[in-house]
C-alpha cells in the first residue's frame, strides 16, 4: 500500500493512517493488541473497499506500527480517543467498525462514545474484558503492584508485555458484567479452536448487547488469528451482507 498519512493529536502525537474516499458507511478497521494496519485482515478489508468503491480508514494506535509514541504508554482510553479523533476528522457520515481481538473491545468503547455515528460493527475474535479473564491471580498481583507482565509470544521471538497502566485502564473499561446500550447490527466471528480468546467471549458479548440484530458465527477449526483465506472470505462476505443502510 501507499505510504501512510499522519494525523496530529492535540498533544502532538502523530497517528499513522491510510484512508480512501467512497460510498458509506465507511469501514474503520481496529487492529488487535500490538498489531497494526499492515496485518492481513486489515489489508484485505482495505483492498475490498477499493474494489467496491467503499470509504475505508485504517490506522495504527500510538506506539504501534508506523505511529509515533511508546507502546508502554498505550491504554484502551488513549487508543479509543485516537480512533474517535480520526473518525471525526477524516470520515463523513456513519461508520462500520471492524475490530480484531483487542480491537473488538475497542470498537464497542468507540461505539458507546458515538453511537449516532455507528451503523454496525463486526468483531473478529473479539476480546472485551481480557484484563480480567486473560490473567491469573499471580499476574494480576504483579500488575497491581505496578510491574509489567511478560508472556511468550507464539507469533514471534519477543515476549508480549502488559504494562500496569494498560491493565488498570482496562479494568475500568470492562463491559461484560452489565448491559451494553447499543442497538446497531452486530456480527461476531470467532474460531472455536482459539487458544487465546475463548469463543464463549463472543457469546457473552452478544448476550450483553441491547441490539436484537446480533449474529455470532463460530468457525469450528478456526484459531485466534482468523486469517486463513477462507476466514478472510467469510469476513468480507459478512461485511458485504450487513443490512441495508449499514453497508
Strand-pair category, 160-162 with 149-151: antiparallel
Does any domain span residue 41? yes
Does any domain span residue 85? yes
pTM (2 decimals)?
0.96
Does any domain span residue 247? no
Among residues 60, 81, 169, 194, the one annotated as catalytic is: 194
Does any domain span residue 102? yes
CATH number at residue 196: 3.40.50.1820
Taking the alpha carbons at both ends of the chain, their separation in whole angstroms is: 24
60 catalytic? Reply is no
* Residue burial 145-176, b: 16+ Cβ < 10 Å; e: rest: eeeebeeeeeeeeeeeebbbbbbebbeebebb
Does any domain span residue 54? yes
Q: What is the pLDDT of residues 157-196, one digit of tens each?
A: 788 999 999 999 999 999 999 999 999 999 999 999 999 9
Among residues 81, 101, 169, 190, the one annotated as catalytic is: 101
* pLDDT mean over 1-11: 91
Among residues 35, 169, 202, 224, the one annotated as catalytic is: 224
What letter would DSSP give residue 72?
A: G
190 catalytic? Reply is no
* pLDDT mean over 59-81: 97
Residue span of the structural domain in which 138 resides: 5-240
Q: What is the pLDDT of residues 95-129, one digit of tens each?
A: 999 999 999 999 999 999 999 999 999 999 999 99
Q: What is the pLDDT of residues 198-220, one digit of tens each?
A: 999 999 999 999 999 999 999 99
17 catalytic? Reply is no
Q: Count the domains in the chain.
A: 1
Amino acid at each position: 500500500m501507499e505510504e501512510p498519512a499522519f494525523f496530529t493529536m492535540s498533544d502532538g502525537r502523530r497517528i499513522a493512517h491510510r484512508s480512501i474516499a467512497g460510498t458509506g458507511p465507511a469501514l474503520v478497521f481496529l487492529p488487535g493488541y500490538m498489531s497494526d494496519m499492515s496485518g492481513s485482515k486489515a489489508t484485505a478489508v482495505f483492498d475490498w473497499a477499493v474494489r467496491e468503491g467503499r470509504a475505508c480508514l485504517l490506522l495504527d494506535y500510538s506506539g504501534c506500527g508506523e505511529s509515533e509514541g511508546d507502546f508502554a504508554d498505550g491504554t484502551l482510553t488513549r487508543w479509543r480517543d485516537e480512533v474517535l479523533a480520526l473518525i471525526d476528522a477524516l470520515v463523513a457520515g456513519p461508520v462500520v467498525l471492524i475490530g480484531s481481538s483487542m480491537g473488538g473491545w475497542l470498537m464497542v468503547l468507540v461505539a458507546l462514545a458515538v453511537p449516532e455515528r455507528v451503523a454496525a460493527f463486526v468483531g473478529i475474535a473479539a476480546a472485551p474484558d481480557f484484563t480480567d479473564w486473560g490473567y491469573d491471580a499471580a499476574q494480576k498481583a504483579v500488575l497491581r503492584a505496578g510491574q509489567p507482565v511478560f508472556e511468550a509470544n507464539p507469533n514471534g521471538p519477543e515476549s508480549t508485555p502488559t504494562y500496569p497502566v494498560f491493565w488498570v485502564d482496562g479494568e475500568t473499561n470492562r463491559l461484560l458484567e452489565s448491559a451494553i446500550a447499543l442497538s446497531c447490527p452486530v456480527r461476531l466471528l470467532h474460531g472455536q479452536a482459539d487458544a487465546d480468546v475463548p469463543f464463549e467471549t463472543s457469546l457473552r458479548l452478544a448476550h450483553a448487547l441491547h441490539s436484537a440484530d446480533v449474529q455470532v458465527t463460530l468457525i469450528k477449526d478456526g484459531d485466534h488469528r482468523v486469517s486463513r483465506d477462507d476466514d478472510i472470505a467469510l469476513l468480507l462476505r459478512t461485511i458485504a451482507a450487513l443490512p441495508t443502510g449499514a453497508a
